[in-house]
Structures are given as structure tokens and as C-alpha cells.
Structure 1
Amino acid sequence: MQIGIFLSIFNVHINRSPVAARIIGLTYRPGKYLNALRPESARENEQLAIRLESTEAPHRRMIARQITGAIARRIVCWLKPGDEVQRGEQFGMIKLGSRTELVIPREDCLKIHTVLGQTIKAGKTVLAEYGAEAGPSAT
């Protein structure tokens, strides 16, 4: 399941961890600087994929992806493999707006709480969660 978050130049550009997790890897990919509202920006723009494994059972793996835009061309991330982060903890930013994506495992117990076009609040809006028996939510 992929959840994309567009950040305009007027939004807060800080990225936060969706769950308490251990960083299992970072993958940088150079690319274009298309408008982040365009769907193809997720595939073609410069980006940094942060691979996380939740610290709570069942230890799901997910990806937080920082993607540049037409104006925002600077990704900042201060994580490294092996680091641990708490849910909602700041880990980086994309200067002047762009796009952030969360890729999480699709399971029957997954409930998405957001809809297309919804305004969300960093560190406050719950984007999705797994059933209570299944583990942590993604903020």
C-alpha cells in the first residue's frame, strides 16, 4: 500500500517516522525534478528511500520515501542504518516542499484513515493502522 503526501512551499517540510522502528537501510536515487503533484514524480524524481522495520511485533517492514519536486531539490536525512526512531520522531526534511511517500504492507487488518486530497497534520494525523492484534499504526 502506498500513501503519497504532497508538500507545498507553504507546508511544514519536516519528515517524521510513521512507527517506532529500526533503520535497516537507505537508498539514494538521482533523478528528475518534475512537479511533485504529477504521479510520475514518484518514479522519476530524485529520492531517498528509508527502509524501516517496526520494533513492535510483528516487525513489519516499510519504506518512507523523500522525493524532490520542481522547486524543492534538497533532501535532508540524518538517519543511518542501525538507528532507532520513535513514532512521530523527526528524521529529515525536503527543503521548499515536494512529496513524501509511505509504503506499508497490505494486509486484511489494514485500515486506511486518509482520503485523496485530505489535509494532514505532521505527527498528529494517523494515516493508516493495522488491527489491534496485528501491531503498530503508521502516523
Structure 2
Amino acid sequence: MKLHKESKGTIAVATIIFTIISAVSIYYLEMFSLLIIVPLLVIYCLVFWFFRVPNREILDHVESVIAPVDGKVVMIKEVEESEFLKEKAIQVSIFMSPLNVHICRFPVSGKVIYKKYHPGKYLVAWHEKSSTENERTTMAVESLTNHKVVFRQIAGYVARRIVFYCNEGDSAKAGHEFGFIKFGSRMDVFLPLDTEIICKIGDKTKGGIDVIAKMKN
């Protein structure tokens, strides 16, 4: 199993903690140490599972809006996107549990025209106000269909580290990685009002693969 580059520090710390606690448990508890080691081993394995990098074939897309993350669609509604678009848009929000792959991918192809990091609160990621009050990074891409698409990485109650690799002026390719969020969190995508939304609330998405909407060329 291939692991994401963001895993190095976390796995190193988890390994040290697991080794120390296991050694102390064996020394003091002997045969009863398994009561501690087994649950700890499960958690240790879940850390590796969280940072997995799935092997996915990413296709080229022009009009399609691709799911930027693995997760569950929790919101589809018309909102006022006040940070960059400053107009009404359709917001599609996808929630990621700690068991989902947490690689963040471009939803559309084009050019990165905006990026800004915002420190903030750590409300639970499914809270509606987390989109504007939590720690977050907002990005915008001028798509190949000449639309401005905004998407936002949002930290949650558990997720407190947002990583992003793109800069203004960079090329964006739908489905390809631009960042990572450690542990549970959310991704919002803001689309033009005339966009055809294909997904629905409750749908499970596979980042880089599933088409969640189509924009008019």
C-alpha cells in the first residue's frame, strides 16, 4: 500500500507511542498487556489506512466537475459566495470521515486565479457555518469552459491541518491532487447557477473519478 507524503511525521509519532506503551504494558502487565496492545494496534493500523493513496486512473475533463474528495454529499443549495465570486452560486459540500481518503483534488481543469488561507474556529465539519468560520483555504479556478469555480478546504473538529500545494497562476487538472487535509473535514465547491448538478445529498463520492456536475460550454 502506497502512503501519502504527509504521513511521515504522523506515522513516526504513532510508531513511537505504540512502541513505548506496548513495552510498558508487557513489562508491568505481562499476559494482560494484550488488553491494551490489541486495541492500540487497531488504532495504529487505522493511521496507515488513513494516509493510503489509492491507484486511480484520472481522465481528462472539460465540462465535467469532478468530486474533489472521497466522502458523502451533505449539502446542495444556492448560496451567496461572498469571498471571491461575490454573487450567488450553487454550493456542493462533501464531508470526509476519518476513514476516507483525504487527498484533495481539483474539481475542474483550468488556471488557478485565487488562493487564500484563513485561520478560524474548529466547528464540526458538517456545521453549515464551518464554511465561513472554520480554518479554511479558498481557491478559485478559471475553467476551460470560462467559468470561475471556487472550492474550499475546511478544517473540522478533528482535522486541524490543511495542506495545499498550488499557487495562483498554476495549471489545474480535474481529478489531480492539489492538497491534503489531516483527519475528518469537508470540501465545498461553488458552481455557476446554470450548472447541471448530477449528484444528490447522501451520495458517496470517489475523488478524481465521480462526476458531480456538468457546466455549459
Normalization by structure 2: what TM-score? 0.57
Q: Distance in 1 between matches of 2:165 and 2:108?
A: 17
Equivalent position of 1:62 in the other structure? 149
Out of 110, 128, 136, the position equivalent to 2:213 is 128
Identity among equivalent positions (%) equals 40
SS of 2:132's partner is helix
2: CA distance, partners of 1:114 / 1:122: 13
Tell me the distance in 1 between the aligned counterparts of 2:133 and 2:148. 23
Give 1:37 shift.
Answer: 1.4
Distance 1:21 1:86 in 2: 7
| Match among 191, 199, 204 for residue 119 of structure 1 | 204
In structure 1, the residue matched to 2:91 is: 2
The RMSD of aligned alpha carbons is: 1.0
Q: Is 1:86 the counterpart of 2:178 in the alignment?
A: no
Question: 1:29 maps to which residue?
Answer: 118
> What are the ranges of 5 or more consecutive residues in structure 2 without an aligned counterpart?
1-89
The structural deviation recorded for 1:35 is 0.6
Return the offset for 1:97: 2.1
Correspondence for 1:11: 100
Q: How far is the alpha carbon of 1:27 from its aligned partner?
A: 1.3
Question: Who is 1:52 aligned against?
Answer: 141
Contact 2:141–2:172, Cα closer than 8 Å, also in 1: no
Q: Deviations over 1:103-135 (max 9, x none)?
A: 11111xx211111111111111111102xxx22
CA distance in 2, matches of 1:97, 1:13: 8
**Which has the higher relative contact order, 1 or 2, with Cα contacts under 8 A spaced 6 or more apart?**
1
* 1:127 match: secondary structure: strand
Q: Given the alignment of the two structures, is residue 105 of structure 1 paired with residue 172 of structure 2, yes or no?
A: no
Per residue, is there more helix in 1 or in 2? 2
Superposed structure 1 runs of 4+ greater than 4 Å apart: none
Is the strand fraction higher in 1 or 2?
A: 1
Spell out, residue by residue over 1:61-107, the C-alpha distance to the aligned partner (whole angstroms, 9 max, x if none). 01110000000010000000100021111100111120001011111
Q: Give me the whole-angstrom Cα distance separating, in 2, the residues matched to 1:41 and 1:117.
A: 19
What amino acid is the match of 1:114? C
CA distance in 1, matches of 2:96, 2:205: 10
Count of residues in correspondence between the two structures: 128
Any stretches of 5+ residues in structure 1 without a counterpart?
none
Which residue does 2:182 correspond to in 1? 95
How far apart in 2 are the matches of 1:124 and 1:62?
A: 18
Between the aligned partners of 1:42 and 1:35, the Cα distance in structure 2 is 10
